[in-house]
């Protein structure tokens, strides 16, 4: 048998058990074995191996059935859960004032929202004001009132570099340039 300490896979165990049964029938059809302190015949060992093979086959069938059942459940969830959740919302809306009716449907009635105290309202307003100040957010009218001041704009024209002139032209360009008009 494959190493039992490492829990062999079922396929390897099945192959071993079938080969063991075949080998016992072929080579030791009338053999007797003492294992531990109990005597075993070839027929009893083959029966023991056969029962283990049948148990593994039953587990394989149960696993296949379970996989099919889980796949069917997941497919049903995809289609049924949204409908049932929508029905729950409808029932809560229909019977929001009657808690006993909602309980009859298995729905826990939603808790009524407790009104805020004066201190909680003041704290909420102060926190909102502090957040607006920290973020620098303003209302639409305040944004419209903000005008920018522009002073000292310098426009720099973008030109492409001219091809380098001949050496005689460079000496003429080294002459003092004409003064430019001040920018306004």
Per the structure, the count of domains in the chain is 1
Task: Enter the tokens of residue 140.
Answer: 């639409």
Map residue 25 onto helix, strand or coil. helix
Flag whether 179 is in a domain. no
**pLDDT tens-digit readout, 40-57:** 999 999 999 999 999 999
Flag whether 51 is in a domain. yes
Domain span including residue 62 = 4-77
Flag whether 151 is in a domain. no
For residue 35, which phi and psi values (nearest 5 degrees)? -115, 120
pLDDT, position 165: 65
Flag whether 59 is in a domain. yes
In sequence order, which residues have a C-beta less than 8 Å from that of residue 183 and are 6 or more positions away?
153, 154, 155
> How far, in Å, CA of 86 to CA of 97, rounded?
19
179 pLDDT band (50/70/90 cuts)?
Answer: low
Other CB atoms within 10 Å distance of the CB of residue 131? 10
Flag whether 52 is in a domain. yes
């Amino acid at each position: 048998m494959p190493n039992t300490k490492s829990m062999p896979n079922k396929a390897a165990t099945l192959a071993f058990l079938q080969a063991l049964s075949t080998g016992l029938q072929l080579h030791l059809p009338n053999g007797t074995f003492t294992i531990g302190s109990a005597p075993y015949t070839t027929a009893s060992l083959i029966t023991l191996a056969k029962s283990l093979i049948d148990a593994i086959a039953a587990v394989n069938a149960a696993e296949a059935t379970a996989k099919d059942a889980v796949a069917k459940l997941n497919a049903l969830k995809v289609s049924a859960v949204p409908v049932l959740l929508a029905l729950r919302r409808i029932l809560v809306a229909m019977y929001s004032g009657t808690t006993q009716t909602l309980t009859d449907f298995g729905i826990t009635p939603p808790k009524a929202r407790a009104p805020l105290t004066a201190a909680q309202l003041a704290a909420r307003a102060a926190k909102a004001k502090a957040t607006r100040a920290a973020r620098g957010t303003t209302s639409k009218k305040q944004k419209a009132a903000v005008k920018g001041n522009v002073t000292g704009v310098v426009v720099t024209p973008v030109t492409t570099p001219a091809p380098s002139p001949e050496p005689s032209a460079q000496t003429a360009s080294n002459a003092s340039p004409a003064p430019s008009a001040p920018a306004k």
